[in-house]
């Protein structure tokens, strides 16, 4: 709920924001009319609201009530409303214990460091993640023919419109490196804006039932938007997902006997495209290559950094070294439980720009273990997803993990929304695949209301759908 930067970027005036808000609200309402579940409406409205409030950052970042900003209050409201809407039994989903462990460690670390209130901010953000994850999972189960992702793409209309306006009205922002201009729609910082666009790109990758022309148009628009935002961490993180999506999608529209040569051609095209992006932004990636060639040489005592070392990767190597050095100088309790949630703000000028480094400093070794466990549990679900989605979901998790190594999506609500939607979809796909495999193995799939839906089940099964007439996942039962 805190923001990535205390200094505000250029913002549109109310003369632009207010009319645009009414237009975007109308778009949201029209799109939401096609969403049948309250869980789906919650996800769509929550993402839309966050992106709209980002455009009003000159107002929403400031303390409004009890020291909380409008953004923070909105996140609390989403958690409270979500707690009413979601089904309580889904709070015990098998993928959630690592999240609960992280939340418990937040509280323990805060108490051990004499700052019980310091955990409130982080606990609310992690609760936001859990609510959006469960709501996404429920929406996918309840919506007809899995069209929820088709509707969800409209939640990203604010990002697209405001970025277009920033270009049309010539309202750029100085880049993070200070070596050029970026176009982020009047938002505060390119990090949060780029992560939000990456969320839209991910949703479009998973909108398999969206019309191909509209889907590829949205994929291109969000990918190009990330390039315009100029945040190289998001550019790099997007590559695995973009590669998997375009490679698979193109081959789906050709005859089976042509898929192998088309797959090879698409592989080469994707590699050429990645090379073109790297060459076009070679100035931004040169120091990354320098770091990767010998990362150990740049993780050292901050006092030994030369002026040239300090410039590499926008100073990230120096930032990480400062945090790791401070952690090493802590007590044994700090090594295990960290220095407390959000404690970096009192000791450093900038946030860690790395989720694991941040977690190590704030929650200690146990926190890093819990974070890695969460990533592993969620990624493992992707390996059990339905066949046509498996590669894209695996690539999406790889992209998200890469994002964590040079920025902190777990600190940004935009990043938590990205991971929640991805994890909710992954869990849904894995459950659907498990039901299909169970039904095939037993030779029979039945609904609990067999007397009313037997024929419908057969038709759904022949179409390869794991749903019954009530849009609920079918459960495998013993043969009659």
More reliable by pLDDT, 291 or 130 = 130
pLDDT at 457: 39
How confident is the model over 128-146, as a mean pLDDT? 91
The dihedral over CA atoms of 104, 106, 110, 113, expressed in degrees to the nearest 10, equals 100
- pLDDT bin (cut points 50, 70, 90) of residue 62 is confident
Q: Model confidence at 330, in pLDDT bands (50, 70, 90)? A: very high
Evaluate if residue 43 carries a pLDDT over 50.
yes
Q: pLDDT tier at 442 (50, 70, 90 boundaries)?
A: low
Note the pLDDT of residue 439: 67
Q: What is the mean pLDDT of residues 125-149?
A: 92
Q: Is the pLDDT of residue 5 over 60?
A: no
What is the pLDDT, as a whole number, of residue 298?
66
* Mean pLDDT of the 422-427 span: 97
Lowest model confidence (mean pLDDT) among 10-24, 75-89, 272-286, 443-457: 443-457
Contact between 56 and 198 under an 8 Å Cβ cutoff? The reply is no
Stated pTM of the model: 0.85
Q: What is the pLDDT of the chain when averaged over all its residues?
A: 83
Nearest to 355 by CA among 129, 76, 28: 129
More confidently predicted of 295 and 318: 318
pLDDT of residue 432: 93
Query: DSSP string covering 9-69, please?
Result: -----HHHHHHHHHHHHHHHHHHHTT--SHHHHHHHHHHHHHHHHHHTHHHHTSEEETTEE
Mean pLDDT of 382-394: 94
Average pLDDT (222-232) is 91
In the chain, the percentage of residues whose pLDDT exceeds 90 is: 54
Residues 156-199 have pLDDT tens digits of 999 999 999 999 988 887 665 555 688 898 898 889 999 999 99
Highest mean pLDDT among 6-20, 110-124, 246-260: 110-124
Among candidate residues 389, 64, 105, the one with its CA nearest the CA of residue 248:
389
Residue bearing the bigger pLDDT, 294 or 79: 79
pLDDT for res 379 = 97
Q: Is the pLDDT of residue 424 over 90?
A: yes
Distance CA 375, CA 248 (A): 24
Please state, in angstroms and rounded to a whole number, the distance separating the CA atoms of residues 460 and 446: 11
Mean pLDDT throughout 442-471?
40
If you write DSSP's letter for every residue of 69-81 in order, what string do you get? EHHHHHHHHHHHH
Q: Are 372 and 141 in contact (CB under 8 A)?
A: no
Calpha distance 234→190 (Å, rounded): 10
Q: How far is CA 148 from the centre of its chain?
A: 17
Looking at the DSSP bridge assignments, the partners of residue 69 are: 63
The residues pairing with 181 across neighbouring beta strands, listed in sequence order, are 174
Report which of residues 436 and 284 the model is more confident about.
436
439 and 476 Cβ atoms separated by less than 8 Å? yes
Residue 220, pLDDT > 90, answer: yes
Q: Does residue 440 register a pLDDT over 70?
A: no
Residue pointed to by tokens 């004499």: 114
Split at pLDDT 50, 70, 90, the class of 27 is very high
Question: How many percent of the chain have pLDDT more than 70?
Answer: 82
How far apart (Å, rounded) are the C-alpha atoms in residues 244 and 250?
10
* CA-angle at 242, arms to 238 and 246, nearest 5°: 175
| pLDDT for the residue numbered 277 | 66
**Residue-wise pLDDT tens digits, 260-307:** 777 777 777 777 776 776 666 655 556 566 655 566 666 777 787 777
Predicted pLDDT of residue 446: 40
In this structure, of 45-54, 66-75, 213-222, 392-401, the range with the lowest mean pLDDT score is 66-75
Token pair for 445: 């799939």
Q: Which one-letter DSSP state was computed for residue 384?
A: T
In this predicted structure, the answer to whether residue 344 has a pLDDT above a threshold of 70 is yes
pLDDT of residue 29: 96
């Amino acid at each position: 709920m805190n923001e990535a930067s205390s200094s505000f970027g250029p913002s549109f005036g109310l003369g632009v924001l207010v009319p645009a808000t009414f237009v975007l609200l109308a778009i949201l309402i029209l799109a939401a009319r096609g969403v049948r579940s309250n869980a789906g409406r919650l996800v769509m409205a929550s993402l839309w609201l966050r992106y709209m409030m980002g455009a009003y950052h000159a107002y929403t970042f400031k303390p409004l009530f009890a020291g909380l900003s409008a953004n923070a209050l909105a996140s609390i409201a989403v958690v409270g409303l979500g707690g009413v809407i979601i089904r309580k039994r889904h709070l015990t989903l098998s993928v959630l214990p690592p999240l609960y462990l992280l939340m418990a460690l937040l509280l323990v670390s805060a108490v051990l460091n004499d700052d019980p209130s310091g955990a409130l901010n982080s606990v609310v953000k992690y609760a936001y993640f859990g609510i959006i994850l469960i709501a996404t999972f429920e929406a996918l189960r309840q919506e007809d023919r899995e069209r929820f992702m088709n509707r969800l793409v409209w939640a990203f209309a604010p990002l697209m419109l405001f970025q277009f306006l920033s270009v049309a009205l010539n309202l750029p922002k100085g880049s993070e490196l200070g070596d050029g201009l970026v176009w982020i729609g009047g938002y505060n910082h390119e990090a949060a804006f780029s992560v939000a666009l990456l969320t839209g790109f991910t949703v479009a990758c998973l909108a398999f039932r969206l019309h191909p022309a509209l889907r590829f148009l949205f994929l291109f628009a969000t990918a190009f938007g990330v390039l315009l935002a100029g945040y190289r961490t998001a550019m790099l993180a997007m590559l695995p997902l973009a590669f998997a999506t375009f490679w698979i999608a193109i081959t789906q529209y050709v005859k089976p006997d042509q898929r192998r040569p088309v797959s090879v051609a698409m592989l080469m095209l994707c590699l050429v495209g990645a090379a073109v992006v790297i060459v076009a932004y070679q100035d931004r990636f040169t120091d990354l290559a320098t770091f990767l060639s010998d990362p150990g040489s740049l993780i050292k005592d901050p006092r030994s950094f030369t002026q040239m070392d300090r410039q590499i990767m926008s100073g990230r190597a120096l930032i990480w070294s400062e945090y790791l050095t401070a952690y090493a100088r802590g007590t044994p309790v700090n090594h295990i439980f960290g220095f407390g949630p959000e404690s970096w703000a009192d000791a450093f000028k900038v946030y860690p720009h790395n989720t694991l480094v941040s977690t190590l400093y704030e929650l200690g070794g146990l926190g890093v273990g819990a974070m890695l466990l969460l990533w592993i549990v969620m990624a493992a679900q992707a390996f059990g997803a339905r066949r046509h989605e498996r590669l894209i979901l695996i690539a999406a998790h790889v992209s998200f993990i890469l994002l964590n190594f040079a920025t902190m999506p777990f600190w940004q609500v935009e990043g938590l929304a990205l991971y929640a939607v991805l994890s909710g979809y992954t869990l849904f796909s894995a459950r659907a695949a498990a039901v299909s495999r169970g039904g095939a193995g037993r030779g029979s799939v039945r609904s609990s209301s067999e007397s009313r839906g037997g024929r419908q089940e057969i038709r759904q099964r022949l179409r390869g759908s794991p749903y019954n007439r009530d849009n609920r996942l079918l459960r495998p039962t013993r043969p009659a």
